[in-house]
Amino acid sequence: MTIRVAVTGMGCVSGLGQGLAANWSRTIEGHGAITAFALPRDGEPRLSGPAAPIRELDQSGLAVHFDRRAVGQIDPLTRFALVAATEAIEDAGLIGDPVLNRRTAILIGCGSGGNETFDGAYRRLYERGQTKVHPQTIPTAMISAPASQLAMLFGIHGPALTIASACASSAHALGEAMHMIRAGRADVVIAGGTEACLTLGSWVAWSSLGALATDTCRPFSIDRQGMVLGEGAAILVLEAWDHAVARGATIHGELIGYGATSDAAHITMPDQTGIEAAIRAAHADAGLPLDVPVLISSHGTGTRLNDATEAAAIRAVYGDALSESLVIATKSAHGHLIGGSGALEFLLGLKALQAGRAPAILNHVGDDPACDIPLALARSDIAYDHLVSNSFAFGGLNAVLIGRRA
Amino acid sequence: MTVPPTTAEIIAIIAEEARIDPERLNPSATLASLDIASLDVVSVLFAVEDKYGVEIAVEDVTVCETLGQFVDLIMAKVGAA
């Protein structure tokens, strides 16, 4: 019999704020985090544009559990993950629980490593002509630092891995975590993603790609220009159902399906066939027929090609049954967290199922015939039991998660 | 020319880089007793270099046993620049 996978802890930080409560309330109220932004954060601006930055981070929650010296030198990439994970593990009531020591794994999705640390180190070399960089540069900036720091701080001795699949990283992390539990390899997995890509080097690189909007993020709208970068982390505690029930944990929802495919087509262009295949695979995995009405948390980046391709794939998969479903696109509120996006969108989608309310897609200024899907253009009351959360990354790496209301 | 730092500013850098509460940083205490490891010392030297533009070699610091000696050495190097 398949082991069911419960969501027993949730935590996040983004430009919307710190903690799931703040992120959800701003999302449902339609108060997006995208704002005028410039880098460097202190000093003469070198690049400006819309972004969804984290302006301040309250780390007192970390101080409650950990000595300052234990936390060590960390990049924002790790800091965001620690803040979100502490919230999630507290929420699950697992701080100090023996299961962390024995039967817990960590799977963290990141698109890139510690950009701020690398930027700072390389400025010494290239800008100032210095010959050395800080000896902690590699351990601070390595893409696996968040997973290692989480393991050290919480005393988690199971497998601790980082999954990198660009913008789908944390969706893949959640899906693979679900399978670890189903396979009996762990009773608990701390899973999600983090990204700290709002540094000058990273932002310029994204900008050079021509993928960034100069106004704001308008998923599925006419006149959409592209994506807007955000930053932050979203971490969940996934737990074997019986384990959660036996210890009396509060179950927020269930992760019931995961579909992952690779387009094997192009390094930046999305491919409708691969996307469709991932959605179908997730439904097959969940045993959820395609004609059951669902809340769809789209990838919805706001780029011309991505949104049109995703809309076409959604329409092709669901057909006429789609009219009873509803599509949300919360990147219009929190921006694109790259490796953190999939997990944050799954969390917010699960909250929407719980609350029976779907947040409006922000900044939509008119229908695009190429995006003919049922969009949540206003905040709506909903009664869906299932969430389909899409993540489609550069390089054609697709991950679709299906959640169920508890 | 950079304004010379005050002792308090150097202490603040050490507190930040070594992640120790500033009130624990008694000048007569040894670096060892404060749990200031060699990697912390290097971190302090990098922060001083970034802030004041003065490069201090790790080897120069090995003679320092107490926090006060460490601070004095940094002050001397930065002041001489």
In a domain, B1, yes or no: no
User: Is residue B17 one of the residues assigned to a domain?
Assistant: yes
pLDDT in tens, A220-247: 999 999 999 999 999 999 999 999 999 9
Residue B81, pLDDT score = 66
Instruction: State the best of A42, A68, A131 to mutate against chain B, taking most chain B CBs within 10 Å.
Output: A68
Contacts of B46 in chain A (CB under 8 A): 134
B46 touches chain A (CB under 8 A): yes
Q: Tell me if B66 is assigned to some domain.
A: yes
Cα angle A216, A85, A73 (rounded to 5 degrees) comes to 90
Rounded to whole angstroms, how far apart are CA atoms A70 and A228? Answer: 35
What is the 8-class DSSP label of residue A212? B
pLDDT beyond 50 at A318: yes
**Nearest-CA distance B6 → chain A (Å):** 23
Q: Is the pLDDT of residue A31 over 80?
A: yes
Per the CB < 8 A criterion, the answer to whether A300 and A329 are in contact is yes
Sign of CA pseudo-dihedral A59, A60, A61, A66: positive
Residue B1 predicted with pLDDT over 50: no
B46: nearest CA partner in chain A: A134
Q: Which residues of B touch A135 (CB under 8 A)?
A: 39, 42
Specify the 3-state DSSP secondary structure of A393: strand
Judged by CB atoms closer than 8 Å, whether chains meet at A134 and B46 is answered as yes
Residue B36 three-state SS? coil
Would you say the ipTM is above 0.90? Answer: no
- Which chain A residues contact residue B49 at CB under 8 A? 130
CATH of domain A5-253: 3.40.47.10
Q: How many domains does chain B have?
A: 1
User: Which residues in chain A touch residue B35, judged by CB atoms under 8 angstroms apart?
Assistant: 69
Q: Which chain A residues touch B if contact means CB-CB below 8 Å?
A: 68-69, 71-73, 130, 134-136
Q: Is the predicted pLDDT of residue A275 greater than 60, yes or no?
A: yes
Calculate mean pLDDT across residues A13-37.
98
| Nearest residue in B to A137, CA atom | B43
Cα–Cα distance measured from residue B19 to residue A319, given in angstroms and rounded to the nearest whole number: 58
Residue B65 belongs to some domain of the structure: yes
Got the DSSP string for B7-61?
HHHHHHHHHHHHT--GGG--TTSBTTTTT--HHHHHHHHHHHHHHH-----HHHH
Q: Which CATH number do you get for residue B74?
A: 1.10.1200.10
Interval B5-45: pLDDT, tens: 889 999 999 999 998 988 899 999 999 999 998 889 999 99
Of residues A60 and A4, more confidently modeled: A4
pLDDT > 90: percent of chain A:
93
Residue ranges of domains in chain A: 5-253, 255-405
Domain made up of A255-405: CATH architecture: 3-Layer(aba) Sandwich (3.40)
Burial of A321 from C-beta contacts in 10 A (0-12 / 13-18 / 19+): middle
Cβ contact, residue pair A69, B46, below 8 Å: no
Domain holding B12, by residue range, is: 7-80
Nearest CA to A392 out of A308, A283, A295, A287 is that of A308
